[in-house]
Amino acid sequence: METTATISVPLSLRLSESALKIIAILSMVADHCAYFLMEPDTPMYDLLRCFGRIAFPVFAFLVAEGFAHSRDRMRYFLILLLAGAVSELPWYLLNGSDGTHNVMFTLALGVVALAIFDRMCEHGPLSFIGVAGIAVLAWWLGTDYDWRGILMIAVFYILRHQTMRPWRERSSTHFPSQAILQIIFTFPLMAHYGIAGALLASGIIFLYDGTRGFIRSKPAKYSFYAIYPAHLMLLSLFS
């Protein structure tokens, strides 16, 4: 008989995967608009940048979830890789030759890290060494969020086996308290980019209910990936 402690969460506060995607996109666009178009050290700039700190942790969480549920993980990786390749030109136009690369490459490398972990998980420490190797690669390549981004994705995925049962198997008004482990162990990585943003991201991730939500059709799914290069190109035209 299971005795896992639970935490009451109102039905109206639950967030589906689709809701998390929309929040992450809005956060990302707000963050980039502030960073590339506004004067720093102003109240609005600081507010938008704080809101913008939500984006990457939520995207990292969604990659872990997407990898777990994907029926074709190679295709999932190739979609992220293609989005990264398409985004590299507007990224260069915005950032110049600073040696960095856009976040889609980080997410794609995160999928590689999870694939290595899955393949080598029976070999214990070797699986973690494989993930660490991909984190070092992200740092060496200069991808956005580099090694911290890879570790964040990995921790979300590794702990989901303990924390994320299908929604139908949970109480209708409770979350397993073990789900907090995902937030506890990723919070130091999130907090590197701002405590307030990390707290906001943690709250949003905690409210995830395990359902897909309203984004189901293929055109809607692919448009989600297209938003990243599209908004970077628009910003490069106005910056």
Question: Quick one: pLDDT at residue 3?
Answer: 44
Mean pLDDT across the stretch 31-46? Answer: 95
| Torsion, Cα of 63, 9, 190, 68 (10° steps) | -20
Question: Which pLDDT band holds residue 193 (cuts at 50, 70, 90)?
Answer: very high
Q: Is 174 strand, coil or helix?
A: strand
Mean pLDDT across the stretch 212-238? Answer: 89
> E strands within the chain?
6-8, 174-176
Question: Which pLDDT band holds residue 172 (cuts at 50, 70, 90)?
Answer: very low
Please check whether residue 3 is in contact with residue 174, taking contact to mean a CB–CB distance below 8 angstroms.
no
Please check whether residue 208 is in contact with residue 9, taking contact to mean a CB–CB distance below 8 angstroms.
no
Measured CA to CA, the distance from residue 76 to residue 166 in angstroms comes to: 21
Residue 169 has pLDDT above 60, yes or no: no
SS (H, E, C) 62-119: HHHHHHHHCCCHHHHHHHHHHHHHHHHHHHHHHHCCCCCECHHHHHHHHHHHHHHHHH
Residues in the chain: 239
At 81-90, the pLDDT tens digits run 999 999 999 9
Mean pLDDT across the stretch 219-228? Answer: 88
Measured CA to CA, the distance from residue 184 to residue 163 in angstroms comes to: 12
Measured CA to CA, the distance from residue 67 to residue 77 in angstroms comes to: 9
At 85, give phi and psi (nearest 5°): -65, -40
Amino acid at 214: F
Measured CA to CA, the distance from residue 61 to residue 74 in angstroms comes to: 19
Report CA 82 to chain centroid distance, whole Å: 17
Kindly state the helix (H) or strand (E) to which residue 129 belongs, with its residue range. helix 125-141
Q: Whole-number mean pLDDT of the chain?
A: 88
